Amino acid sequence: MNSIAELSVKQLRQVVNLKEKIEALENKLNQLAGSTAKPVVAKASKKKRKMSAAGKARIVAALKARWAKYKAAKAVKPAKKKFTMSAAAKAKISAAAKARWAKWKAAKK
């Protein structure tokens, strides 16, 4: 026999339907035979619970407050100080780079 894990959804539905039919027939048999055993009562299907508008609003408000707190904590970090180079330093680096390239081009020839 197949294990439950191997059954498809369609087969599982058939199993449930058959089980419900068997329980209903057992109940009828017990009633006809006058048995004192309690009949098996099928469980009523659960109804979906709906959330009220007020409940949903509370959840939304709490979520917004949580994100606001997270963003506020993140915004407190100081921005990194931008490094600026003086004109003299830029000229010195540029001159060194030009000398390096000149040396490389001279060695190439």
Average pLDDT, the chain: 85
Q: Does 1 have pLDDT greater than 60? A: no
| Stretch 38-50: mean pLDDT | 71
Give the Cα-Cα-Cα angle 75, 78, 80 (nearest 5 degrees): 125
pLDDT of 34 reads 77
What's the pLDDT band for 61 if we cut at 50, 70, 90? very high
What's the pLDDT band for 74 if we cut at 50, 70, 90? confident
- Name residue, tokens 């490389």: 104
**35 C-beta neighbours (distance < 10 Å), count:** 12
Collapse the DSSP code of 99 into the 3-class scheme (helix H, G, I; strand E, B; otherwise coil) and give the result. Answer: helix
72 in Cβ contact with 50 (< 8 Å): no
**How do the domains of the chain map onto residue ranges?**
7-44
Q: What are phi and psi of 93, to 5 degrees?
A: -65, -40
Least confident of 4-13, 55-64, 95-104: 4-13
The residue count of the chain comes to 109
What would you report as the CA-atom Rg of the chain, rounded to the nearest whole angstrom?
A: 40
